[in-house]
């Protein structure tokens, strides 16, 4: 499997062919739609002999061309196996880690329900209704159900009417019941259940504030309309539990790099002095509410932050990962333990190689099935200073 979720085949000339909708073990007929000297992209025409891990997509909108979930043709067990294989390949191929090391450190995380989990859903609007884009297209697929949306969000997506808007983001608190829609460009003529907070992008641009709350464990979090938060509360609990476990017995000051709304600092920093670094203004406003009152919060891009010594670090960067500059800043903290949360396996592979180059060793990587029926991958890794 390719990191982006396509199956990889080899044609008679030895050329790599990327096939969306195929998994290892399939025999398929394809139509090549784009060809280069060393690789080609193809469209799946027919599954001649399906692999043992193949299933009929459970969502009725897959035949309509919905591009929201690209792995519904694989069983949940197969999806989990493929995610671990992609992570293993990335650490070996991109991070240049020895296969025997990678095989000893990569493991599967706790099982999470692949259905009805997404508490934040972004959709396009066509003729007042919400939907998704067709795969490899801008054409809309209007939906009357969504396999992966949390029921509180699915109701808004399928029953809501959004006027002349072009996009809508639905955000719900699974454990609080609070619901909100952010409508772009404005919230004119929006029809949703009475309990739903409605805000237009134009209102936020003019300075309005809008947020909901979610609880993770015993902690209540404020989450603004434009702040990032994990897509499911049970997944957020798994991530923070793993981070706490990987921090181990290390005591003393904790750096919460890319702290966002303060998820990791709040749940992993109890009994510690916490320093958070975050650039996004909306997340900073939330972190001021969510983090312990004695925390230090610095508003800066992490790469521009001046490092100082910390006993331990939790870093949860955006999909692009650390990169060379931020990895150097992270290493300059001289932390005994770095817990890295990665949402892209290629970025993890590169960042692992960078941290190893700065004198750290990879001890553990847990692959968490946060995004059922999709090829998106979340990992939590523990690095220790040599």
263 & 375 share domain: yes
The whole model's pTM is what?
Answer: 0.95
Residues 315 and 270 in one domain: yes
Residue 61: inside a domain: no
Domain contains 24:
yes
pLDDT in tens, 301-326: 999 999 999 999 999 999 999 999 99
225 confidence band (pLDDT: 50, 70, 90): very high
What confidence tens digit (pLDDT) does each residue in 48-83 have? 999 999 999 999 999 999 988 999 999 999 999 999
How confident is the model over 239-291, as pLDDT tens digits? 999 999 999 988 889 999 999 999 999 999 888 899 999 999 999 999 999 99
Residues 191 and 314 in one domain: no
Expressed as residue numbers, the domain containing 46 is 1-54
Helix (H, G, I), strand (E, B) or coil at 229: coil
The residue from 163, 193, 217 where one domain ends is 217
d(CA 80, CA 98): 22
**Shared-domain flag, residues 14 and 101:** no
- Answer whether residue 69 is part of any domain: no
Whether 221 contacts 214, CB under 8 Å: yes
Q: Which whole number is the average pLDDT over 137-151?
A: 93
Secondary-structure percent of the chain, ordered helix, strand, coil, rounded to 5: 25, 30, 45
Residue 130, domain member (yes or no): yes
Same domain flag for 91 and 187: no
Domain co-membership, 103 together with 242: yes
One domain for residues 204 and 263: no
> What integer pLDDT is reported at residue 252 of this predicted model?
87
pLDDT score, position 339:
98
Per-residue pLDDT at 243: 97
Instruction: Report pLDDT digits (tens) over 151-207.
Output: 999 999 999 999 999 999 999 999 999 999 999 999 999 999 999 999 999 999 999
- The pLDDT value recorded for residue 136 is 79
* Any domain includes 178: yes
C-alpha triplet 130, 133, 137: angle, nearest 5°: 155
CATH number where 311 lies: 3.40.50.150
Q: Which of 170, 188, 217 is the last residue of a domain?
A: 217
Q: Does residue 131 share a domain with residue 109?
A: no
DSSP-H helix ranges across the chain: 76-93, 99-105, 151-159, 201-205, 233-247, 263-268, 281-290, 323-331, 345-357
- Distance CA(371)–CA(339), nearest Å, equals 21
- Assigned domain for 49 exists: yes
Same domain, 242 and 135: no
Q: Residue 302 gets which letter from DSSP?
A: G
Q: Are the C-beta atoms of 173 and 203 separated by less than 8 Å?
A: no
Residues 18 and 91 in one domain: no
Please give the Cα distance from 212 to 229 (Å, whole number): 11
CATH of the domain at 14: 2.40.50.140
Are 323 and 254 contained in the same domain?
Answer: yes
User: Which tens digit of pLDDT belongs to each residue from 16-54?
Assistant: 999 999 999 999 999 999 999 899 999 999 999 999 999
- The reply to whether 349 falls in a domain is yes
Cis link prior to 185 (omega < 30° from 0)?
A: yes
Mean pLDDT of 217-228: 96
Is residue 68 a part of any domain in this protein? no
More confident residue, 137 or 26: 26
121 and 147 Cβ atoms separated by less than 8 Å: no
**Can you name the residues that pair with 126 across neighbouring β-strands?**
129
DSSP conformational letter for 224: E
Determine which of 128-137, 166-175, 237-246, 329-338 has the lowest per-residue pLDDT on average: 128-137
Whether residue 99 is predicted with pLDDT greater than 90 in this model: the reply is: yes
In this structure, the answer to whether residues 268 and 376 fall within a common structural domain is yes
Q: How many domains does the chain have?
A: 3
Altogether, the residues listed in the chain come to a count of: 386
Mean pLDDT of 338-367: 98
Q: Rounded to the nearest 5°, which phi and psi values hold at 76?
A: -55, -40
Q: Which of 65, 14, 75 is nearest to 43 (CA)?
A: 65
Give the pLDDT score at 13. Answer: 86
Return the number of other C-beta atoms located less than 10 Å from residue 261's C-beta: 30
């Amino acid at each position: 499997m390719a990191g982006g979720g396509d199956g990889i085949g080899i044609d008679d000339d030895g050329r790599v062919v990327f096939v969306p909708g195929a998994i290892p073990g399939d025999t398929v007929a394809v139509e090549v739609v784009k060809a280069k000297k060393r690789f080609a992209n193809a469209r799946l025409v027919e599954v001649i002999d399906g692999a043992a891990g193949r299933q009929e997509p459970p969502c009725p909108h897959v035949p309509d061309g919905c591009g929201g979930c690209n792995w519904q043709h694989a069983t949940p067990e197969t999806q989990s196996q493929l995610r671990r294989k992609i992570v293993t390949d990335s650490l070996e191929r991109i991070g240049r880690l020895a296969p025997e090391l990678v095989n000893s450190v990569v493991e599967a995380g706790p099982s999470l329900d692949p259905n009805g989990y997404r508490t934040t859903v972004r959709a396009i609007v066509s003729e007042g209704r919400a939907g998704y884009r067709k795969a490899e297209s801008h054409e809309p697929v209007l939906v009357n159900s969504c396999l992966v949306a949390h029921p509180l969000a699915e109701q808004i997506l399928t029953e809501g009417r959004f006027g002349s808007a072009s996009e809508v983001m639905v955000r719900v608190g699974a454990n609080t019941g609070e619901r909100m829609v952010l409508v772009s460009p404005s919230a004119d003529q929006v029809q949703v259940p009475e309990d739903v907070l409605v805000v237009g992008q134009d209102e936020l641009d003019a300075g309005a504030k809008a947020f909901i709350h979610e609880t993770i464990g015993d902690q209540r979090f404020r989450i603004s309309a434009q702040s990032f938060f994990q897509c499911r509360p049970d997944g957020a609990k798994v991530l923070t539990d793993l981070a706490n476990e990987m921090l181990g017995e290390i005591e003393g000051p904790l750096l919460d790099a890319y702290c966002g709304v303060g998820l990791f600092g709040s749940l992993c920093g109890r009994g510690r002095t916490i320093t958070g670094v975050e650039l996004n203004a909306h997340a900073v406003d939330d972190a001021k509410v969510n983090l312990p009152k004695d925390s230090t919060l610095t508003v800066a891009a992490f790469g521009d932050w001046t490092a100082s010594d910390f006993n331990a670090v939790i870093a949860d960067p955006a999909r692009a990962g650390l990169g060379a500059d931020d990895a150097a800043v992270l290493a300059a903290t001289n932390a005994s333990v770095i817990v890295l949360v990665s949402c892209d396996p290629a970025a993890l592979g590169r960042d692992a190689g960078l941290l190893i180059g700065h004198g750290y060793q990879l001890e553990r990587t847990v692959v968490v099935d946060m995004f059922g029926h999709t090829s998106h991958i979340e990992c939590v890794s523990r690095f220790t200073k040599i």
